[in-house]
Structure 1
Amino acid sequence: MQLAESSPTSFSVVPLVLKDDEQSHWLHFVSIDATAFEHWHAQHRQWLHPTESSYYESITSDVRRSSFLLGRIAAKSALTRQLGSMQPEAIEIRSGLFQAPIVCAAAANPAQVSIAHTRTMACALAFPATHPMGIDLEDILPDRSQAMERQCSESELAMVQALPSTVAHPWHVLWTSKEALSKAIGTGFTTPIRLFEVRELMGVSASPLEGRYAHFGQFGFKSWTIGQRVLSLAYPKSCHLQCGNDAPT
């Protein structure tokens, strides 16, 4: 998966395809560089639903304002592509009981969205509501690696120790894959993190890295190292996810 290093006011769009036994489904991944905040702030009412706009204008924390706005714009950009001709301000993204984003839009084919952000980037994945998915993104920071390692099980520690040295940032891969799954099932980390244990890592000599979960056999994940970030995407294991060089043109 390639994220375009374009101008800071533009966003990168990556189309993906999810194939199940019956048909293929388009997905849309969008990322926005956090340096573009002032550009998007100037036009936020063109993107936010009136309820979202009122909430955004009430936020006093600069960090929270940036993450909320850029996350919503990434999500709206992905959703307008997923849903067709809808205007972004006509789509409302509410927060569920466990803070998962809930898409409210008058569309024939319902879609949902997963949102992730760091201090340097916001991103979102729009997907059919019938196929639960989730993404997570983390900046690669050495001090975070130690905290992530402490959250791993004994079997995960042994699995990482057995990996070839060419596998980059394994602790970030495990952490983001777990958070992506927690978003796919709608609980976030309100569920004990040990339940999201990774059972297997595959394709260690290629990108993306792929994996399976110990307690959620219904899902698999793919992870990419993108510059100084790790992105993971959890999706139904019964489906085939086409992306990167395999994505249709």
Structure 2
Amino acid sequence: MMPIGEGLRTQVVQLQGSESLYRCQLTVFAYDTPQVDAAYDAAYGCLSSAERAYCDRLKVRKRALEFTFGRYVAKEAARAAADGALARESFEIRQGLFNQPILVCPDGRDLEVSIAHSNGVAMALVHPRACPLGIDLEVLDGRTLSTMTEHLTEHESALMDRHPVASDRSYLPAVIWTAKESLSKVFKSGLLVPFDLFEVQSISTRSEVMTSAFRSFSHYVAASARVGDFVASIAYPKMTDLRTESGAPFPSLALPGSSQAG
């Protein structure tokens, strides 16, 4: 098994609409390990010539790691979406006008990808174009949470103060932030528009999954969960029901600090 095989996890995420079932593939890889150099070499080998050229121009190692492993997990998710019939190397992740990732499939499959990375973890969700989705991931540390808290709107601050579970309030800024950023990726805007545009209107909690509704985008919601030292969010159409293949309300992510990470 090549070095990157350790710690790589891919699973099915399903969204049930009124008439259609949309199958997506979510891949996560925690690469901040003593084997990171060997894993990087393996992931770099899966890049296209254009992707390698871009990566080689990156002067900061952290950025090169994020780019390379982000592309790798995206290609692994795409390979899974193709039922393993296509090699990772046959996919390419190009950059759009706003630097959004554009998945190019060798057989012309109508798929899109959303990529996130934080503190040594890369995550990608490949989904049918017909069902727009976005993901985000953030580590829970004091500095990051402080920055997120500073960017809360007045309404979001009030939501946090009124949240019924006191123990959740410590990481609620990360829930709100990742919910908003995952929605921004649905619209391919990222942080190029005022973040307040994606203001969270309400938050409900069920089975340790928080669901955010948006003031200006009532046709979307975001599911968020704390997993170890991280918070992850998936923004998806409100008219669908998000479940894993086993029926769980949120994917099982083996992230650092979680019991699943071992």
TM-score with structure 2 setting the length:
0.86
Q: Shift of residue 119 of structure 1? A: 2.2
Give the distance between the partners of 1:8 and 1:108, measured in 2 at CA.
Answer: 27
Distance change >3 Å, CA 193–CA 23, structure 1 → 2: same
CA distance in 1 between partners of 2:43 and 2:246 (Å): 34
Q: Determine helix, strand or coil for the equivalent of 1:189.
A: coil
Which residue number in structure 1 is paired with residue 259 of structure 2? none
1:51-90 equivalences under 5 Å are 51-84=50-83, 85-90=85-90
Partner of 1:27: 24
Give the Cα–Cα distance (whole angstroms) in 2 for the partners of residues 37 and 73 of structure 1. 13
Question: Which residue of the partner structure matches residue 253 of structure 2?
Answer: none
**Could you tell me whether the CA contact under 8 Å between 1:46 and 1:88 is conserved in 2?**
no
Name which of structure 1's ranges 163-172 and 186-195 shifts more when overlaid on structure 2. 163-172
Secondary structure of 1:188's counterpart equals coil
Structure 2 counterpart of 1:153? 153
Which residues of 2 match residues 1-249 of structure 1 at below 5 A? Answer: 9-35=6-32, 36-84=35-83, 85-164=85-164, 165-168=166-169, 169-203=171-205, 206-243=207-244, 246-247=247-248
Shift of 1:117: 0.5
1:10-53 CA distance string (max 9 Å, x none): 30122111111212121111111122531222223542122112
Residues 49, 88 of structure 1: 8 Å contact kept:
no
The CA distance in 1 between the partners of 2:48 and 2:141, in whole Å, is 34
Question: What amino acid does structure 2 have at the position aligned with 1:181?
Answer: L
Instruction: Tell whether the 8 Å contact from 2:22 to 2:131 is kept in structure 1 after alignment.
Output: no
2:13 touches 2:242 (CA, 8 Å); kept in 1? yes
Change (3 A) 1:135 1:171: same
Report how many residues are paired. 241
Residue ranges of structure 1 left out of the alignment (5+ in a row): 1-6
1:186-244: CA deviation from partner (whole Å, max 9, x where unpaired) = 110101000000011012x5321111100011211100101000001101111111138
Deviating more after overlay: 214-223 vs 107-116: 107-116
TM-score normalised to the size of structure 1? 0.90
Preserved contact between residue 98 and residue 189 of structure 2 (Cα < 8 Å): yes
CA distance in 1 between counterparts of 2:120 and 2:52 reads 22
Gaps of 5+ in 2: 250-262
Deviations 1:117-146 (A, max 9, x none): 012211111111111111110000112222
Contact in 1 for aligned 2:131/2:237 (Cα 8 Å): yes
Contact 1:37 1:70 survives alignment (8 Å): no
Measure the CA separation in 2 of the matches of 1:150 and 1:239. Answer: 32
Amino acid at match of 1:68: F
Amino acid across the alignment from 2:207: A
Once residues 217 and 114 of structure 1 are traced to their aligned partners in structure 2, the CA distance between those partners, rounded to angstroms, is: 21
> Does the CA contact (< 8 Å) of 2:44 and 2:68 recur in 1?
no
Deviation (angstroms), 1:86? 1.6
C-alpha change, 1:227 and 1:94, in structure 2 (3 Å) is same
Report the Cα offset of residue 108 of structure 1: 4.9
Kept in 2, the 8 Å contact 1:17–1:27? The answer is yes
Contact 1:45 1:89 in 2 (8 A): no
Give the C-alpha shift of residue 72 in structure 1. 0.7
Q: Is the 8 A contact 1:71 1:124 kept in 2?
A: yes
Residues 224, 140 of structure 1: alpha-carbon distance in 2 compared, 3 angstrom cutoff:
same
**Secondary structure of 1:117's match?**
strand
Separation (CA, whole Å) in 1 of partners of 2:78 and 2:238? 23
